[in-house]
Chains A and B, each alone.
Chain A
């Protein structure tokens, strides 16, 4: 999976979780929770959605890596087949 494809996947799931958020304007290196006001339920839903889409099991201890768009890409890049 290319970085672009992973990014598109994350954005697609974010749009499902937060339809009213302006994901097009996300700064990929800034915490998404602050940019589009995500809470722990949103992060859990994102993790579940990414797991279902990629098969990657993301342990709770790795959540801190998943808080930025680029962080998600970097984490999934090495693990998605």
Chain B
């Protein structure tokens, strides 16, 4: 028997709300299946399961807000359920999705649970209550949300409602569970989380993480301009011969260079946990992505150092689209080992980041702009990017940080090898 628990989706999360179950008792699941949608103050996240087997029971119904670590469902694993069946698929390198105590804030975070535990998280869009996931599915299926009957708590439209509407099947009666919640929360007219409330909640979790960072982490900062003429020239030529859907963004070169540079200076990659540095076992790069409605989130691109530029580009596009559509997956939220922020598109020349605890470094890139650049006594105009590093002085020193930035510079001079 395996227990599926509320995962810790980032250092700043204390509790999460089940928005929707995508499985029911008796359903067969395999590793990596998305089985639930969980709302945190920052985002709505698709939670993957790391056990294969049969869902036995759903312990926490949709609409409930529970602390991380709470058992949400029980799963009869394949070993127990069907020992005579075919062997299980090979184990992934990833550990089971359980609470990692080191990810919890050490500094007391602002209280997060401020509303009755059963409040529903979907954003109110106009007068419709609809989860971001449902909104995306509606767009994909061409379903008019105003004609969909919501069966979630408070009449919120869930993914299943949209899919049912697409097939024009009448909705089932509302689940029995909400009546219990309604009692607890004082009736069905309780407010849902509006876009404004979500914004306030997001500011709160960013505040908690950043206060913790500046309170605990002795940052040191380094910066250097990098000549991007080779990278940009290569990229231009490459994109010219690529069909539009295959084109690369320069951010992909920056991400790959930062990830590969970790081979030279591994102490930039990992976590500060319980008074010691714990090196990252892989290079999962958190990409700071600004949300149009305000706030930001830094989900992880996995194994960036080992992936081709095309793979990174495809992953990045997928990630940005899902961040904006509000459908992140649990494995992307919790496990970044270093963060890269590229604020250049907002027009600033340089950015010095604040480390996202318990990580130990953040690389910043400003905008790429033409600057005078002297080579062999001659000045010419070249595209230049200001690269910066904010790193944890408990783990590394300025000299190592300088080597790290130098490695990024060196890698960007040979983009064809990235």
List chain A positions with a Cβ less than 8 A from chain B: 16-21, 36-37, 39-41, 44-45, 47-48, 51-52, 57-60
Q: How far is the CA of A58 from the CA of B292 in the complex (A)?
A: 25
B243 close to A (CB within 8 Å): yes
Would you list which residues of chain B between 243 and 282 have a CB under 8 Å from chain A? 243-245, 247, 249, 251
Produce 1/0 per residue, B135-163, CB < 8 A to A: 10001000000000000000000000000
The number of A-B residue pairs with CB atoms under 8 Å apart is 44
B28 close to A (CB within 8 Å): no
| Contacts known (A16-B139, A19-B139, A60-B239); A41 close to B247, Cβ less than 8 A | no
Residue from the set B135, B195, B243, B292 with the largest chain A CB neighbour count within 10 Å: B292
Given A20-B195, A60-B239, output 13 extra A-B contacts at Cβ < 8 Å: A17-B324, A19-B325, A37-B290, A37-B292, A39-B290, A41-B320, A44-B247, A44-B249, A44-B317, A51-B244, A51-B245, A57-B244, A58-B244
Instruction: Report the minimal beta-carbon distance from B173 to chain A, rounded to whole angstroms.
Output: 30
B2 close to A (CB within 8 Å): no
Instruction: Report the minimal beta-carbon distance from B186 to chain A, rounded to whole angstroms.
Output: 30
Q: How far is the CA of A75 from the CA of B52 in the complex (A)?
A: 52
List 26 A–B pairs whose Cβ atoms lie within 8 Å, in order of A's numbering: A16-B139, A18-B324, A19-B325, A20-B195, A20-B292, A36-B292, A37-B292, A39-B345, A40-B249, A40-B345, A41-B316, A41-B317, A41-B321, A44-B247, A44-B249, A44-B317, A45-B317, A45-B321, A51-B244, A51-B245, A52-B245, A57-B244, A58-B244, A60-B236, A60-B239, A60-B240
Q: How far is the CA of A47 from the CA of B195 in the complex (A)?
A: 29
List chain B positions with a Cβ less than 8 A from chain A: 135, 139, 195, 236, 239-240, 243-245, 247, 249, 251, 290, 292-293, 316-317, 320-321, 324-325, 345
Q: How far is the CA of A37 from the CA of B290 in the complex (A)?
A: 10
Q: How far is the CA of A51 from the CA of B325 in the complex (A)?
A: 22
* Cβ contacts under 8 Å, A59 to chain B: 240
Q: How far is the CA of A36 from the CA of B290 in the complex (A)?
A: 13
* Cβ contacts under 8 Å, B320 to chain A: 41
* Cβ contacts under 8 Å, B239 to chain A: 60
* Cβ contacts under 8 Å, B325 to chain A: 19
Q: How far is the CA of A36 from the CA of B292 in the complex (A)?
A: 8
Instruction: Report the minimal beta-carbon distance from A9 to chain B, rounded to whole angstroms.
Output: 15
Establish whether residues A20 and B139, one from each chain, have CB atoms under 8 Å apart when the complex forms. no
Establish whether residues B244 and A19, one from each chain, have CB atoms under 8 Å apart when the complex forms. no
Establish whether residues A21 and B244, one from each chain, have CB atoms under 8 Å apart when the complex forms. no
Our pick among B245, B251, B345 for the contact of A48 (Cβ within 8 Å) is B245
* Cβ contacts under 8 Å, B243 to chain A: 57
Instruction: Report the minimal beta-carbon distance from A32 to chain B, rounded to whole angstroms.
Output: 12
* Cβ contacts under 8 Å, A17 to chain B: 324
Q: How far is the CA of A20 from the CA of B262 in the complex (A)?
A: 37
Q: How far is the CA of A20 from the CA of B345 in the complex (A)?
A: 20
Establish whether residues A20 and B245, one from each chain, have CB atoms under 8 Å apart when the complex forms. no
* Cβ contacts under 8 Å, B249 to chain A: 40-41, 44
Establish whether residues B251 and A40, one from each chain, have CB atoms under 8 Å apart when the complex forms. yes
Establish whether residues A60 and B345, one from each chain, have CB atoms under 8 Å apart when the complex forms. no
Q: How far is the CA of A48 from the CA of B314 in the complex (A)?
A: 13
For A58, the closest partner residue in chain B by CB is B244
Q: How far is the CA of A52 from the CA of B246 in the complex (A)?
A: 13
Q: How far is the CA of A60 from the CA of B242 in the complex (A)?
A: 10
Instruction: Report the minimal beta-carbon distance from A35 to chain B, rounded to whole angstroms.
Output: 11
* Cβ contacts under 8 Å, B290 to chain A: 37, 39
* Cβ contacts under 8 Å, A57 to chain B: 243-244
Instruction: Report the minimal beta-carbon distance from A24 to chain B, rounded to whole angstroms.
Output: 13
* Cβ contacts under 8 Å, B236 to chain A: 60
Establish whether residues B292 and A21, one from each chain, have CB atoms under 8 Å apart when the complex forms. yes
* Cβ contacts under 8 Å, A41 to chain B: 249, 316-317, 320-321
Instruction: Report the minimal beta-carbon distance from A75 to chain B, rounded to whole angstroms.
Output: 13
* Cβ contacts under 8 Å, A18 to chain B: 292, 324
Instruction: Report the minimal beta-carbon distance from A57 to chain B, rounded to whole angstroms.
Output: 6
* Cβ contacts under 8 Å, A19 to chain B: 135, 139, 324-325
* Cβ contacts under 8 Å, A58 to chain B: 244
For A36, the closest partner residue in chain B by CB is B292
Instruction: Report the minimal beta-carbon distance from A66 to chain B, rounded to whole angstroms.
Output: 11
Instruction: Report the minimal beta-carbon distance from B57 to chain A, rounded to whole angstroms.
Output: 35
Q: How far is the CA of A16 from the CA of B140 in the complex (A)?
A: 9
* Cβ contacts under 8 Å, A21 to chain B: 292
Closest 9 CB pairs of A and B: A51-B244, A41-B320, A37-B292, A60-B239, A39-B345, A48-B245, A40-B249, A48-B244, A20-B293
